[in-house]
């Protein structure tokens, strides 16, 4: 965790013009755009739906001058769509998602969502701070997972949009109250999505607390760079700048050791297809049902070095990830089982999406030798991950 002094959120707002248009669904949309066509980025706000509690959910479409689009809703801070060009210049959606708020509100494997307060698993749903034990909901028996059943992926975030000449910015905020889902402290959280004209999607996480607590935020989008979700991701080539793995026990809780990846199916230091070793006889592969593990990033220049890369040869799409986090969870969609509906018919089958979740190691509050996830009053939790898209012809 990086503990830094707070830097004020500031963006120079340039002259904007606003107009109203009618979309096919007859919902009113506010379109804000810049006057400078060369540097144009747009943010389109529209109504997405209403929760059973009567909470209005909005959707924001961020679009850059290259035609890259990112759609984010205020429910769960979910990325519902992410369109990027292939090597032929055709833009297609490359993240798993649903077509309605109703579907997102049903149980699902965190499609596109913000995760908090604690991404990944906490053993037996409990941890201690200063001798006091805190108990969490057991939602991934026998452990707690991704902040609990009503974690950040299911709350309504406040949204504030802004732009500079080269970037479209959406800043989300949420106040997680003391003992929400069992976590101590009133935690004020900000997550800022920034889409640049370099086809980068930056995700900046910030948080402050009034009581000692633990924090481990991440983003849970499922990628399929082919743009065709009827196909698996086994033909995607992955590179991870990581010499070590965080091995897990049968309940997917870290053993406390750090294991060298050399001569194991977990060695992605050189580009390798996800499908190459995913079915080999290996105890860790068996426990995860494939890849569902945290790698220890080498990351010598935190936030600057590309620590993960995905490449899909047929489409030519490339995804590069930079982060200042110490770990990354590669999840190969092992629990997708054909029961959840795709947007345009059909269902999401086994391994039709993969995740690259930048984070601290699982169960860190209970592992003394892992980098700390403790946040104290007066400190600022601040970490950034960037997803950059390009094509290789």
Residues with catalytic function: 220, 357
CB 204 within 8 A of CB 77: no
CA-wise closest residue to 151 among 139, 141, 159, 160:
139
CB 74 within 8 A of CB 113: no
CA distances 102 to 45, 78, 98, 99, 273, Å, are 19, 13, 9, 9, 35
Helix (H) or strand (E) holding 288: helix 283-288
CA-wise closest residue to 14 among 118, 188, 144, 163:
163
Long-range CB contact pairs, 169-174, < 8 A, 24+: 169/11, 169/62, 169/193, 169/194, 169/195, 170/43, 170/60, 170/62, 170/72, 170/194, 171/9, 172/72, 172/74, 172/77, 172/114
Tell me whether residue 277 is exposed, middle or buried, using C-beta atoms within 10 angstroms of its C-beta: 0 to 12, 13 to 18, 19 or more.
middle
CA-wise closest residue to 239 among 318, 177, 127:
318
CA distances 118 to 92, 144, 151, Å, are 32, 9, 9
Rounded to an integer, what distance in angstroms lies between the CA atom of residue 303 and that of residue 384?
7
Q: Answer left, alpha or beta for residue 189, where phi above 0 means left and psi between -120 and 50 means alpha.
A: beta
CB neighbours (10 Å) of residue 127? 24
Q: Residue 331, preceding bond cis, omega within 30 degrees?
A: no
Rounded to an integer, what distance in angstroms lies between the CA atom of residue 121 and that of residue 142?
10
């Amino acid at each position: 965790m990086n503990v830094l002094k707070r830097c004020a959120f500031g963006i120079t707002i340039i002259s904007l013009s606003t107009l109203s248009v009618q979309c096919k669904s007859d919902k009113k949309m506010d379109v804000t755009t810049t006057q400078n066509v060369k540097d144009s980025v747009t943010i389109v706000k529209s109504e997405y739906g209403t929760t059973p509690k009567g909470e209005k959910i909005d959707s924001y479409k961020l679009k850059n001058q290259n035609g890259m689009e990112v759609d984010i809703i205020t429910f769960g801070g979910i990325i519902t769509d992410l369109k990027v060009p292939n090597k032929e210049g055709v833009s297609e959606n490359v993240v798993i998602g649903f077509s309605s708020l109703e579907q997102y509100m049903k149980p699902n494997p965190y499609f596109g969502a913000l995760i908090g307060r604690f991404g990944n698993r906490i053993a037996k749903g409990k941890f201690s701070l200063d001798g006091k034990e805190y108990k969490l909901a057991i939602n991934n028996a026998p452990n707690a997972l991704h902040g609990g059943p009503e974690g950040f992926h299911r709350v309504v975030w406040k949204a504030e949009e802004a732009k500079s000449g080269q970037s479209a910015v959406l800043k989300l905020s949420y106040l997680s109250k003391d003992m929400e889902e069992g976590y101590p402290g009133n935690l004020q959280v900000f997550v800022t999505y920034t889409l640049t004209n370099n086809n980068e999607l930056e995700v900046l996480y910030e948080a402050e607390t009034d009581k000692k607590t633990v924090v481990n935020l991440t983003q849970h989008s499922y990628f399929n760079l082919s743009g065709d979700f009827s196909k698996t991701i086994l033909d995607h080539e992955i590179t991870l700048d990581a010499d070590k793995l965080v091995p897990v026990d049968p309940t997917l809780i870290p053993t406390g050791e750090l294991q060298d990846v050399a001569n194991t199916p977990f060695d992605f230091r050189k580009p390798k297809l996800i499908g190459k070793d995913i079915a080999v006889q290996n105890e860790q592969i068996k426990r995860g049902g494939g890849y569902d593990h945290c790698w220890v990033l080498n990351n010598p220049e935190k936030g600057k070095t590309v620590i993960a890369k995905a490449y899909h040869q047929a489409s030519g799409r490339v995804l590069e990830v930079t982060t200042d986090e110490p770990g990354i969870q590669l999840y190969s969609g092992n629990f997708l089982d054909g029961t959840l509906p795709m947007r345009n018919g059909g269902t999401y089958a086994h391994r039709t999406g993969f995740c690259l979740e930048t984070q601290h190691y699982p169960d860190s509050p209970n592992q003394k030798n892992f980098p700390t996830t403790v946040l104290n009053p007066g400190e600022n939790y601040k970490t950034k991950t960037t997803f950059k898209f390009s094509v290789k012809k």
